[in-house]
Amino acid sequence: MNAIAILLVVVLIAFTIALSIFSRRFTRTTADFYLAGRKVGSFSNASAISGDYLSAASFLGVAGAVYASGLDGVWFAAGFAGGFMVVVLFIASALRRFGEYTVADFAFGRFGSNRVRLITVLAVLLTSLFYMAPQMFGSGTTWQVLVGAGLFGMDPYTTGVVVVTAVMAFYVGVGGMKGTTLNQIFQFWWLWFAMFLVVVFAFGSGFNYPAALADASAEPIVNTKQLTATELTTPNAAGVTPLEQAEGIMTAEEFVGVEAFVESGAEGKIAVALPSSNKLHELRDQLFAEPGHRYNAFDQFSMVLALVLGTAGLPHILNRYYTNPSGAAARRSTFWVLVFIGTFYILAPIAGLAGIGFIRDYLAGGGEIAAASVHGLLVKPDQVMPTLGSILGGQWLMGVVAAGAFAAMFSTIGGLLIAAASAIGHDVYEKYVNPNASEAKRVAVGKTSVLLFALIAMGIGLAIPKFGLDQAYPALIAMMVTWAFSVGASAFVPMLLTGIWWKGTTEKGATAGIFVGLFSAIAIIFLNIMQQLGTIGKDGVLGFVGALTFPVLFTFPLALLTIIIVSKLDGQLPKNVDQIWMRIHGTASERHEKQHGLDKVGTMFGKSD
């Protein structure tokens, strides 16, 4: 147990709760609860959006993906950042000019039907759940590494999930968007600083970027995996068993233990080192600095599209754009977001690469680490950040990193809970269940929604290891986040792009597009999971579709085409389409606000009327 790390995490949690309680005084109306009164400045909003965006996948997952896969892992960082260009070019200012609360409000305002609003709400909830799952999984695994012990009879993983859920439900429920925004600003800078510190310590310990990259690329990448005795002795299609492959990679000393494990016929799994293969250029060795460890040619494109388009389909990020005071401020916020997260994403792959040499040398020198390892490599790449922190800076740096990991999870979960609460409380309750509810009652429903959604997410987090997903994918956190991006990119982005830029989009077209994009993406993801778990084979149509790691290359154009074709066939534009068009692209409101100085950023800490 790392006492300093636990202390720093406790300090982080206490500060987070204090900020929420402080913000509570300023949360009176639904605009305060969901949108922080629309008075968040560009720099603050950019920090909060960055905190919203940088989750466990970015803090733990990117470094882990680079550590395990080299260049294919670096793409996660570049793709995550690139997504904001789509937001700034096509969506940010139009969404803000439209001036509503949620994505579902936009769909309703643009297309004018309850049907399109409700399916958008469903898509928001499902996308948010897909994004919550990796945060919950990250909570459990980080607690495992950090604390290593459970509370109240629970195992460490379960304890991590339950504690994070409880803290998050409390602080989002109490602080609303203002509290969440303040927390996200603080959490973002903490996790940025933690990543920066790890990289500074690495350079201070003799790390040389080009030389380390050359060193890591000198030999083919080695994979680590935990396998049962049966799996180790089952030959692959070429007639070679993993045991034979491991013997070719591992040292004689290391391999003795594996042989003994197989001969004893023991239950459970043992970690082994295995050779990698190049999925992109099959005749080449898989080197660290070259593409192909994770993705074949199809997935190279599909993954890039999933990340680049997916950002514009994340409801908790889109909701943040409504907190800007103007369309121009929305653009400025996005520029700063790109600067903040760009610097972070330049640092994260450096940490992943540094982990290879430092962890290998530390273990070779007889050092001991909390995380499982084999052949000088971590068995779970997602643990590279805390492990590297511990090696380079002892308990203090590991503590800063561990608190950074929790800050990353808190900030993203906070945004997701607000987005889900908006969908349930604002889009459903206020519009359909009780439109005449008092302001206090609306806020109360929003808080109840936060609690409800947090409990559902907790259930999913607890279920992940039970279904063996953590064993089926090498860097599960980054993988699950990419699934969320795929669902968002397929469900929302075609509707937003056509709704903003093509006047001819009809309600039926938009509804059909969301439906097709949402469910085709989810279906392909589940087929992929089933294939990885061995439930379905790799042959036939199901096998082909299930082999698609990222569905976006199919599902995004499918949804877009659905919108265009159905809209053309339908031809029923909203009666007030010109007025809607003026609301999206008109500038009279902004000219008026500019004339009277109303476009200036106010304080988040004034009480609403």
Partner 1 sequence: MGDSTLRVISTVGGDDTHVRHGDHTDTIESVDTVFRAQRKLSFSYGAVFFAVTLGIPASSVWWEGWYAVPIWGGFTANYLFVSLLYYVFLWGMAWTYSRQADKLDDKLAHLADAITADEAAKEVGTP
Min. distance of Cβ 115 from partner 1 in angstroms? 22
CB neighbour class for 154 (10 Å; exposed up to 12, middle 13-18, buried from 19): middle
- How many angstroms separate the CA atoms of 125 and 111, rounded? 20
Interface residue with partner 1 among 20, 23, 30, 412 (CB under 8 A) is 30
Min. distance of Cβ 31 from partner 1 in angstroms? 4
Contact indicator for 300, 280 with CB cutoff of 8 Å: yes
Interface residue with partner 1 among 315, 327, 474, 517 (CB under 8 A) is 327
Give the Cα-Cα-Cα angle 274, 277, 280 (nearest 5 degrees): 160
- How many angstroms separate the CA atoms of 379 and 384, rounded? 10
Please give the residues from 198 up to 237 whose contact with partner 1 meets the rule CB under 8 A.
Answer: 208-217
- How many angstroms separate the CA atoms of 517 and 490, rounded? 4
Tell me the site size for partner 1, rule CB under 8 A.
80
Min. distance of Cβ 80 from partner 1 in angstroms? 11
Nearer to partner 1, 97 or 316 (CB): 97
- How many angstroms separate the CA atoms of 549 and 532, rounded? 10
Please give the residues from 303 up to 322 whose contact with partner 1 meets the rule CB under 8 A.
Answer: 304-305, 308
Min. distance of Cβ 142 from partner 1 in angstroms? 25
**Buried b or exposed e, range 382-402, using 16+ CB within 10 angstroms:** bbbbbbbbbbbbebebbbbbb
Contact indicator for 520, 558 with CB cutoff of 8 Å: yes
Using the rule CB under 8 A, give the single segment among 152-160, 324-332, 471-479, 565-573 that binds partner 1.
324-332
- What does the block give as tokens for 228? 């049962």
Min. distance of Cβ 413 from partner 1 in angstroms? 26
> Could you give the string, one character per residue 542-581, with x where binding to partner 1 holds by CB under 8 A and - elsewhere?
----------------------------------x-xx-x
590 sits near partner 1 (criterion: CB under 8 A) = yes
Min. distance of Cβ 95 from partner 1 in angstroms? 13
- How many angstroms separate the CA atoms of 447 and 437, rounded? 15
Min. distance of Cβ 584 from partner 1 in angstroms? 8
Please give the residues from 63 up to 102 whose contact with partner 1 meets the rule CB under 8 A.
Answer: 71, 74-75, 77-78, 81-82, 84-86, 88-90, 93, 99, 101
Beta strands in 26-78 (DSSP E): none
Interface residue with partner 1 among 134, 179, 349, 517 (CB under 8 A) is 349
Nearer to partner 1, 80 or 188 (CB): 80
- For 71, how many CA atoms within 13 A lie in the half-sphere containing its CB? 17
Nearer to partner 1, 77 or 391 (CB): 77
605 sits near partner 1 (criterion: CB under 8 A) = no
Min. distance of Cβ 583 from partner 1 in angstroms? 7
Nearer to partner 1, 86 or 402 (CB): 86
Length of the chain: 609
CB neighbour class for 141 (10 Å; exposed up to 12, middle 13-18, buried from 19): buried
Please give the residues from 244 up to 303 whose contact with partner 1 meets the rule CB under 8 A.
Answer: 280, 284, 288-291, 297, 300-301
- How many angstroms separate the CA atoms of 9 and 15, rounded? 10
Min. distance of Cβ 92 from partner 1 in angstroms? 10
447 sits near partner 1 (criterion: CB under 8 A) = no
Contact indicator for 216, 49 with CB cutoff of 8 Å: no
Min. distance of Cβ 73 from partner 1 in angstroms? 10
- How many angstroms separate the CA atoms of 492 and 95, rounded? 13
328 sits near partner 1 (criterion: CB under 8 A) = yes
Contacts of 107 (CB under 8 A, 6+ apart): 116, 117, 120, 495, 499, 510, 514
Please give the residues from 501 up to 530 whose contact with partner 1 meets the rule CB under 8 A.
Answer: 501
Min. distance of Cβ 76 from partner 1 in angstroms? 10
Please give the residues from 453 up to 512 whose contact with partner 1 meets the rule CB under 8 A.
Answer: 501
Nearer to partner 1, 271 or 580 (CB): 580
Cα dihedral: 396, 397, 398, 399 (round 10):
50
Q: Which of 108, 113, 89 is nearest to 98 (CA)?
A: 108
Nearer to partner 1, 260 or 289 (CB): 289
Interface residue with partner 1 among 178, 225, 331, 447 (CB under 8 A) is 331
Min. distance of Cβ 199 from partner 1 in angstroms? 13
> Could you give the string, one character per residue 406-425, with x where binding to partner 1 holds by CB under 8 A and - elsewhere?
--------------------
Nearer to partner 1, 287 or 378 (CB): 287
Nearer to partner 1, 527 or 580 (CB): 580
351 sits near partner 1 (criterion: CB under 8 A) = no
Min. distance of Cβ 531 from partner 1 in angstroms? 23
- What does the block give as tokens for 163? 């504690």
35 sits near partner 1 (criterion: CB under 8 A) = yes
Nearer to partner 1, 169 or 584 (CB): 584
Q: Could you tell me which residues are beta bridge partners of residue 373? A: 378
Using the rule CB under 8 A, give the single segment among 37-45, 147-155, 379-387, 396-404 that binds partner 1.
37-45
Give the Cα-Cα-Cα angle 477, 479, 485 (nearest 5 degrees): 105
The H or E element spanning position 374 is: strand 373-374
**Count of CB atoms situated within 10 Å of the CB of 276:** 20
3-class secondary structure, 272: strand
Nearer to partner 1, 257 or 574 (CB): 574
Min. distance of Cβ 502 from partner 1 in angstroms? 10
Interface residue with partner 1 among 58, 135, 159, 334 (CB under 8 A) is 334
- How many angstroms separate the CA atoms of 58 and 80, rounded? 9
**Count of CB atoms situated within 10 Å of the CB of 153:** 7
Q: What is the largest CA-CA distance in the chain?
A: 81
Please give the residues from 140 up to 199 whose contact with partner 1 meets the rule CB under 8 A.
Answer: none
What is the residue whose two structure tokens read 């459903």? 428
Residue 606's identity, in one-letter code, is G
382 sits near partner 1 (criterion: CB under 8 A) = no
Min. distance of Cβ 338 from partner 1 in angstroms? 5
Contact indicator for 292, 280 with CB cutoff of 8 Å: yes
